[in-house]
Structure 1
Amino acid sequence: MRNITIYQSNGEQDLFVKKSQGQLSPVSEGSKLHAVTIDEQQTYQEMDGFGASFTDSAAYLINQVLEPEQRAELMNQLFDANDGIGLSVLRQPMGASDYARDFYSYNDLPEGQTDEQLESFSIAHDEADIIPLLQEAVRLNSDVLLMGSPWSPPGWMKTSGSMIGGELKPEYYSVYANYFVRYIQGYAAHGLPMYAVTPQNEALYSPGHYPGMIMLPEVQGEFIRDHLKPQFVKHGINTKILCYDHNWDKPDYPLTVLDQADDAVDGVAWHWYGGKPSAQTDVFEAFPGKEVHFTEGSGGEWIPPFEQAFSNVMRTGIEILRNHSKSYVLWNMALDEKNGPTVPGFGRSTCRGIVTVNQQTKELTYTLDYYALAHFSKCVRPKALRIASSSSETIRSVAFKNTDGSVAAILFNDSETAENVSVQLRGDEVLTLAMPAKSALTVKVGE
């Protein structure tokens, strides 16, 4: 048998623990086996990786509240591929999101003023906490890719005159395109190239208590085709443009944008707060040359008990990847003991971070999202190819072949009972074991 590495999660006290084959529950002889067959010859998307977001809130907690030793240890656990779980995709809000300590863009002006030449543009806000953490992440893992997504343009560009509500004024389409150029150039000056951007976070949702903006599909198509992409070409910017950045339940939106701006769009970004992950495949099959990315999914108190919450991240993650996504990105990298900080006036927050940083005690706690991400990120490295694997509603699976030739499979027992599983690893090699109900396994076999 080749070199095999196994990680198991089986309940709140047994999360992502490295196990030997001998430590795994024995299989009852004569019991039914669920066979998971892996076919290395059938390949799908190339992976960018897994991650979350250094929101303003998360960056503040990690960079200012934690002690330096805690911060160093956490960053190592998050990004080092050997000592930690090797996260490699960071989707960054361009300005304030709901998880920020205040409202801000990169070009805030007094009411009634405008700045079409963007003379007051500045990313200085991000230089305090966000950029130092991104630089440290890249130092720990050179494979880290950055994505930028705005919750709102500066208020003076919008019909509402505010970062809350409204739409982008047509006379500012080209100015807003240059806003993206300045953002990308500003981050590049800090040694942080921007891999991709989306024109608008959740373009069909206009919240009344935090930054947001409606951007209809026809508007987004025009903005990308006639303004954003031409400005990227003019300035020699190779950053990818991903459209939509919203839920699975409105696939007509990205289809409309792709119809209008096909050549200017590199792919589609998706969230999980509505619909089913199969929407990713529906759009991919209509436009097979376009990339699929999953850019935001938060856990929270709306799925409170541990088992259901962990199961949701495992189950949904597997299905996201089986539906062609190159990335699996959760939401806040860190939140505090009150699920914040949030922008003023937000109200009660119910979201969960990858870690919890208690602002009173400075205690650092790794949440179930960290361990669920570990099942994917630790053994599936950037540029891995997804390969075919048999999967069912009882034993869900997704498998990958890494650039070093190793094969990794992630399995989740989605039934209410223990199940016996056989995994055909390579050739005639078969690993047979029992998976407790709602348990997860990552199996990696070396070349």
Structure 2
Amino acid sequence: MNNLFSPTKGAGFSFCRTAVGASDFGLYAYSYSEVDGDYDMEKFSIKREEKTVIPYIQKAFKYNPELYLFASPWSPPAWMKYSGLMDRGDEFPEKNYLKDDPKIYEAYALCFSKYITAYEKEGIKIDRLIIQNENDIATKYPSCVMPVEQMGKFVKTYLNPRFKTDDINTKIWAGTFRTAGQIDAIEFASNKEYHESFAGIGIQYTSTKYIQDIKTLLPEMPIMHTEGSCYNGNNTEDQASKRLGEVAQYINYGVTNYCYWNMILNETTESGWGWKQNSLINIDRENKTVTYNPDYSVIALISKCLQSGVVRVANYSSAIIISVKKDNKIFVLIQNNKNKADKYELDIINQNSRQVKIPANSVSIIQLDI
């Protein structure tokens, strides 16, 4: 936990994500509302998460009290969907939707309210809520297809009023949009009817051309990144070498953060649905060993610079590079993909240029006092 969250001794992760109920890396599908027809949430419970999830997040805040936490569901409770299932959406794609029913919308809004309140009682503040993870796909693991029109109606007519009534200050964000198979993020950005109901847009797996389109349509609305490339659980150095370029893709195009996703997985790298992904750390349960993967080295290094309060500054370079500024210092994150060390010249307006040598096949940070 020190290595992940401590700002002084570790990576200092400061903006993290948790799932509302089961995610694709849950052991099985579950929600906080398991009783069919419990519209008043009388049986609502976060007990499933009291053993592991909640203590883990509490420790994260212990090591970094300045941590921001955002949350998103992978699926509504099963009984709120036409399929009656949280998972197996690939088998019943036409039914993998939230029911278009006012009673369901009211119950789901109440479920979110109770979730945030219950977590606050555990000392955990949910800063932002994103309505639906990857709203455009039906998968074997928990998922829910939620068209932009339904998302907008639910938030404007039901969720915002519920939060206001219950005095909940958690900000509501649209998404998470992928623009992989369709362009829901562009549809959202181009329809002014939705804008006042949301504080921002959450995206993942989104190319820069779509980010530019969103910024053009909605220059004043912030965009947050919600999940990094998960790969296949192999955790190779080659995969880690692509991380700075991935982060730069978002930060250099005006997105306010980067979120990796799996911090820790077990030795199988698999979810309960046989879904393998990379992680920063693997723990072998039988041998009691902890492995720090190549991704940890890169992401932890980047995290030391991309902290709350830094400001991105424009740069001109053919290399993979991110430049940020804070407290009269400029931090240049730069990658050398060559098999030998290489020299780079840093030129800052109204200052003398400086030349630095970057090691072969490395991601490096250059700190400049200004």
Scaled by the length of structure 1, the TM-score of the pair is 0.76
How far 1:94 sits from its partner (Å)?
A: 0.6
Q: Deviations over 1:166-202 (max 9, x none)?
A: 1111221121111111111111111211111111111
Partners in 2 of 1:159 and 1:368 — Cα distance? Answer: 42
- Classify 1:350/1:101 alpha carbon distance in 2 versus 1 (closer, same or farther; 3 Å): closer
Is 1:375–1:410's contact at 8 Å kept on the other side of the alignment? Answer: no
Indicate if the aligned counterparts of 2:135 and 2:144 stay in contact, CA closer than 8 A. yes
Equivalent residue for 1:128, pick from 28, 48, 51: 51
Q: Any residues of structure 2 matched to 1:219-238 within 5 Å, and which? A: 219-238=150-169
2:121 pairs with 1:189: yes
Aligned pairs for 1:84-163 within 5 A: 84-109=10-35, 113-163=36-86
Instruction: State which of 196, 203, 211 in structure 2 corresponds to 1:280.
Output: 211
Residues 333-385 of structure 1: CA distance to partner in whole angstroms, max 9, x if unpaired?
11112103x22xx23x3311110111121111111221111222113321211
Structure 1 residues 102, 117: closer, same or farther in 2, change over 3 A? same
Q: TM-score, normalised by structure 2?
A: 0.91
Q: How does 1:41-80 map to 2 (within 5 A)?
A: 75-80=1-6
Return the letter of the residue paired with 1:131.
I
- Structure 1 residues not aligned, in runs of 5+: 1-74
| Separation (CA, whole Å) in 2 of partners of 1:210 and 1:101 | 10
Q: CA deviation at 1:305?
A: 4.6
1:354 aligns with 2:280: yes
2:235–2:279 CA contact under 8 A, matched in 1:
no
Q: 1:429 to 1:183 in 2, by over 3 A?
A: farther
Aligned to 1:399: 323
Say whether residues 1:382 and 2:308 are aligned partners.
yes
Q: 2:201 aligns with which of 239, 262, 268?
A: 268
Match of 1:175 among 107, 110, 118: 107
Cα 1:90/1:374, change in 2 over 3 Å: same
Distance 1:390 1:303 in 2: 34
- Contact 1:268 1:292 (C-alpha < 8 Å) held by counterparts: yes
Distance 2:63 2:230 in 1: 26
Structure 1 residue 248: deviation in Å?
Answer: 3.9
| SS state at 1:372 partner | helix
CA contact (8 A) 1:277 1:323 kept: yes
> What is the total number of aligned residue pairs between the two structures?
359
Q: 1:322 aligns with which of 232, 235, 252?
A: 252
Q: 1:414: how far off?
A: 4.7
Structure having the higher strand fraction is 1
Following superposition, the deviation at residue 294 of structure 1 comes to 0.7
Q: Which runs of 5+ in 2 are unaligned?
A: 90-95
1:74-99 C-alpha deviation (Å, 9 max, x unpaired): x1111111111100111111111121
Q: Distance in 2 between matches of 1:132 and 1:407?
A: 37
Opposite residue 165 of structure 2, the aligned amino acid is K
Task: Tell whether the 8 Å contact from 1:380 to 1:408 is kept in structure 2 after alignment.
Answer: no
Q: d(CA) in 2 for partners of 1:79 and 1:179? A: 29
Q: In the aligned structure 1, how far is the partner of 2:127 from the partner of 2:212?
A: 23
Contact 1:218-1:256 within 8 A present in 2 as well: no
**Alpha-carbon deviations, 1:133-185, whole Å to 9, x = none?**
21111121122111111011110111001112311112211211111111111
1:426–1:358: structure 2 CA closer, same or farther, 3 Å change rule? farther
Question: 8 Å contact 2:237–2:295 — kept in the other structure?
Answer: no
Greater RCO structure (CA 8 Å; 6+ sep):
1
Q: Deviations over 1:390-414 (max 9, x none)?
A: 232xx12111122x33321211235
8 Å CA contact retained: 2:75, 2:143: yes
Give how far 1:331 is off: 1.3
User: Quick check: 1:425–1:445 contact (8 Å CA) kept in 2?
Assistant: no
User: One-letter code of the match for 1:158?
Assistant: K
Q: In structure 2, what is the Cα distance between the partners aligned to 1:256 and 1:123?
A: 34
Give the match's secondary structure for 1:213. Answer: coil
Corresponding residue of 1:370:
296
Q: Distance in 1 between matches of 2:160 and 2:250?
A: 28
Aligned to 2:171: 240
Paired residue type of 1:321: I
Distance in 2 of aligned mates of 1:135 and 1:405: 33
Q: Report the Cα distance in structure 2 between the residues aligned to 1:415 and 1:277, rounded to whole angstroms.
A: 25
Structure 1 residues 405 and 190: alpha-carbon distance in aligned structure 2, compared to 1, 3 A threshold: farther
Does the CA-based 8 Å contact 1:163-1:212 persist in structure 2?
A: yes
Query: Is the 2:248–2:321 Cα contact (8 Å) retained in structure 1?
Result: yes
Corresponding letter in the other structure for 1:333: M
Q: 2:130 aligns with which of 162, 173, 198?
A: 198
Kept in 1: contact 2:235–2:295 (CA 8 A): no
